[in-house]
Structure 1
Amino acid sequence: MMTARPTGHYALKPDGLYLQFDRLFYAPIEDVWYHLTNPTAMQAWVGTYTGSPATGGVRFKMTFEEGDEWQNVSILECAPPHRFLADSGPGPNGLRVFCHLVEGGGMTTLTFGQRLQNPADAATMGPGWDFYLDRLAAARAGHELPVWEQYYPAFAPHYRELSVPDAARH
């Protein structure tokens, strides 16, 4: 079993401040894309969805969140197997996430990000995404899945102490 560590960092994009994560997989890009986008494969690490992504919207539910409800998700961009951008939840306080995949040298790099409404949110969002992305890696490899208690509150100080890029300060 691997030792969990916080990996998120800030990235400033034209539409706001993102908490961003990178993971490297020794696998073809199509395989990693499958685990990110197939509703059955997703169940092993994050959740599932119903509906057809081709319509531009699905309903998504996280499997491991207590009392989590089905959320409407708008798919803003989808370019298999390289990237997607999606919004979840109501209005301006909803969640925006993206995935970018790049393959080279027999490896695929996943860059995942979530836009933050407030940098203080990173103290809870960061440990959560480290947890889910490590679950993705473990599920793909057939390894034991990590447990939440390894991530929170242990990772919160890392995310509280991240420096916000100057251009993102209000």
Structure 2
Amino acid sequence: MTARPTGHYVLKEDGLYLQFDRLFYAPIEDVWFSLTNPTAMQAWIGTYTGRPATGGVRFRMGSEGEAEWQNVSILECAPPHRFTADSGPGPTGIRLFCHLVEGGGMTTLTLGQRLHSPAEAADMGPGWDYYLDSLAATRARAPLPDWETYYPSFSPHYRELAVPGAVR
């Protein structure tokens, strides 16, 4: 697999999102498990403690050294189709959503992160490409990609994305 930047902007009611799509040849429940099971998540992004049914968990990135635990609010959870979560305090917090759709033996994952500014995409875009490719590699039992392939080489792609509705 050749890594390439895949994110694009989507303007939603609550702001500008950097959005990514991935296709998996797997049932929706299997992909949901990879996204929501704390043990399965360790292989590609991190883990969490707590019970999501309570509306909150503590999450820690796994590939970023000794990352801090973060409080995460679960805003919506409709297994195995979608979830929305907020991480971090107030206006500097992160909103993330995942939507899954199954058809023809394949599951499409759409993941989006709300941006405070389009300038954030140059750092966040390469990260999400890396994590989503890590998810695909983990599911395929293949070696994880190298971070150096993604950052900073993907950053120009994200700096040059056109914002929907913006005049250039």
TM range (shorter): over 0.9
Map of 1:109-148 to 2, 5 A cutoff? 109-148=108-147
Where does structure 2 lack aligned partners over 5 or more consecutive residues? none
What is the DSSP-based 3-state SS (H/G/I as helix, E as strand, rest coil) of the residue aligned with 1:166?
coil
Where does structure 1 lack aligned partners over 5 or more consecutive residues? none
Give a deviation string over 1:76-124, Cα, whole Å, max 9, x none.
Answer: 0000000000000111110000000000000000000000001000000
> Distance between the aligned counterparts of 2:67 and 2:13, measured in 1?
30
Counterpart contact for 1:17–1:168, Cα < 8 Å: no
Letter in 2 for 1:109: T
Letter in 2 for 1:114: Q
Letter in 2 for 1:165: P
Counterpart contact for 1:46–1:62, Cα < 8 Å: yes
Identical positions, percent: 80
Give a deviation string over 1:148-169, Cα, whole Å, max 9, x none.
Answer: 0000011000000000011699
Following TM superposition, the consecutive aligned residue runs of length 4 or more in structure 1 with deviations greater than 4 angstroms are none
Map of 1:66-85 to 2, 5 A cutoff? 66-85=65-84
Give a deviation string over 1:108-150, Cα, whole Å, max 9, x none.
Answer: 0000000000100000000000000000000011001001000
How far is 1:66 from its partner? Answer: 3.4
- Taking structure 2 as the reference length, the TM-score comes to 0.98
> Distance between the aligned counterparts of 2:126 and 2:92, measured in 1?
20
Distance 1:75 1:121, change over 3 A: same
What is the DSSP-based 3-state SS (H/G/I as helix, E as strand, rest coil) of the residue aligned with 1:84?
strand
- The corresponding residue for 1:15 is 14
What is the DSSP-based 3-state SS (H/G/I as helix, E as strand, rest coil) of the residue aligned with 2:33?
helix
- Taking structure 1 as the reference length, the TM-score comes to 0.96
> Distance between the aligned counterparts of 1:168 and 1:90, measured in 2?
32
